[in-house]
Chains A and B, each alone.
Chain A
Amino acid sequence: MLNTDLLQGLDTAEADRVLGLGKTMTVESGGVLFRLGDRADTLYLIARGRIQLTLPIQVRNREENVTVEEQSTGHTVGWSALTPPYRFTLTATAQLQSEVVALDRQALGAYFAANPETGRAVSLNLAEVIGRRLQVFQAMWVREVQRMVESRCA
């Protein structure tokens, strides 16, 4: 069984049933899993490898993709698939050959409707992942604002 942040707290059999809804995919090094702005219908659990998440930044009038986060085995990427408006807000690229389990939103939704306890557990895990991300980026944002204030007041 894949030990992943999204399936924490589920017993092995139930976690395997959820994973069974997905399709295992191999992404070659440098391969793009999804792009910023794409329609998000699929959530990805990293079974092996490393995925980098990038955002475009204008550098000297050139648009460059800058890594803002890296995720490895056991972590989830692409949770935009579970939250409206179902559009990816980052670009995900494999840093090395990686294996992911692709879970379709519709399939997950149907399974959770039939198994509400599993749906609740996964939703709480998802809230933890999103909450943590929010707290980290909030702190990063405050630090940048602080530096901006200091440079303005210097």
Chain B
Amino acid sequence: MEMLLMGACLSIFGLAVMCMAFGAATREPEEQKAIPGAEREAVKAAAATRFFIEPAPPALPLAARSRVPIEALLLQIENHVRLEHAAAECFLESPNAALLHSRTISPLVN
């Protein structure tokens, strides 16, 4: 009888753990819920169209960008300025239109 009760308890506990794991796996993250549907679709569409073309991640919508911690954003801005400074110096070494408008790898504008 005791063995039967113990088995029943373990089964119920196992079932509860499985339910929690399933719930956690299928639940949308909180921050994702905060993004309006249209913007989320735009990100998905951008990701889908670029998947086989270029590995760069899609540009984040405004709502997603606003979640980036301000310290990280400031680092991105300063990194962007450094990259642009270097690009400008490079242009001045050998002035031509191609160098002036060379692409940047700065995540701030990509």
Interface flag for B64 (CB, 8 Å): no
Interface flag for A80 (CB, 8 Å): no
Q: Which residue from chain B places its CB closest to the CB of A70 in the assembled complex?
A: B82
Identify which of B25-33, B35-43, B46-54, B70-78 touches chain A.
B70-78
**What band does the interface of chain A fall in when counting residues whose beta carbon is under 8 Å from B?**
20 to 34
> With A66-B78, A136-B92 in contact, do A143 and B73 touch (Cβ < 8 Å)?
no
Min C-beta distance of B84 to chain A, whole Å = 5
* Majority secondary structure of chain A interface residues (helix, strand, loop or mixed): helix
Q: Count of B residues near A, CB < 8 Å?
A: 18
Min C-beta distance of A92 to chain B, whole Å = 16
- Give the complex CA separation of A61 and B25 in angstroms: 37
**Cβ 8 A contact of A139, one of B77, B78, B91, B104:** B91
Interface flag for A68 (CB, 8 Å): yes
> With A59-B74, A60-B70, A139-B88 in contact, do A66 and B81 touch (Cβ < 8 Å)?
yes
Q: Using Cβ atoms and an 8 Å threshold, which residues of chain A touch B81?
A: 66-68
A64–B74 CB distance below 8 A: yes
Q: Which residue from chain A places its CB closest to the CB of B91 in the assembled complex?
A: A139
Min C-beta distance of A150 to chain B, whole Å = 9
Interface flag for B21 (CB, 8 Å): no
Q: Which residue from chain B places its CB closest to the CB of A151 in the assembled complex?
A: B109
- Give the complex CA separation of A57 and B70 in angstroms: 12
A67–B78 CB distance below 8 A: yes
Interface flag for A69 (CB, 8 Å): yes
Interface flag for A140 (CB, 8 Å): yes
Q: Using Cβ atoms and an 8 Å threshold, which residues of chain A touch B73?
A: 59-60
Min C-beta distance of A148 to chain B, whole Å = 10
- Give the complex CA separation of A142 and B81 in angstroms: 13
- Give the complex CA separation of A68 and B109 in angstroms: 17
B88–A147 CB distance below 8 A: no
Min C-beta distance of A57 to chain B, whole Å = 7
- Give A residues with C-beta under 8 Å from B: 57, 59-60, 62, 64, 66-69, 132, 135-137, 139-140, 142-144, 146-147
What 19 new A-B contacts, CB under 8 Å, besides A59-B74, A68-B81? A59-B70, A62-B70, A66-B77, A66-B78, A66-B81, A135-B88, A136-B85, A136-B88, A139-B87, A139-B88, A139-B91, A140-B84, A142-B100, A143-B84, A143-B87, A143-B88, A143-B101, A143-B104, A144-B84
